[in-house]
Amino acid sequence: MVTLIHAEPIGAHPGRERIVALLDNGDVAVATRAIGEEKAEAELSFNLGEAHRLSELALGGNSTALTMPGLSRILCASVIALSRAAFQAGLLETRDDDPDTEQTTHGL
């Protein structure tokens, strides 16, 4: 079973979205699909331990980590997955900081 965590329209590709999903084995997957479709094309998958280590290396200026293909998507998907988990666990609360946007943020 795959649990959809987030879907974001892809600006450069109208009618398509990039999704973040949690896989049965605990890995996080990033994929693209046509909006409204079930089937998606996988881009990458990773576990949070790998993402954590990549974050440490990138913060330390490791040039190999900083130029790794997919790094930005791995880090973005990690933030989404972890913030969603923290919100579900009651560690974050919904906040509407900016009345001019429809965005809802999660804060401590």
- Domain edges within the chain: 3-93
Q: Within 13 Å of residue 25, how many CA atoms lie on the same side as its CB?
A: 5
The CA dihedral of 45, 102, 37, 35, to the nearest 10 degrees, is: -100
- Rounded to two decimals, what is the model's pTM? 0.83
The pLDDT value recorded for residue 65 is 97
The pLDDT value recorded for residue 1 is 81
Residue range 63-98, pLDDT digits in tens: 999 999 999 999 999 999 999 999 889 998 877 765
The pLDDT value recorded for residue 93 is 83
Please indicate whether residue 44 or residue 108 has the higher confidence score (pLDDT): 44
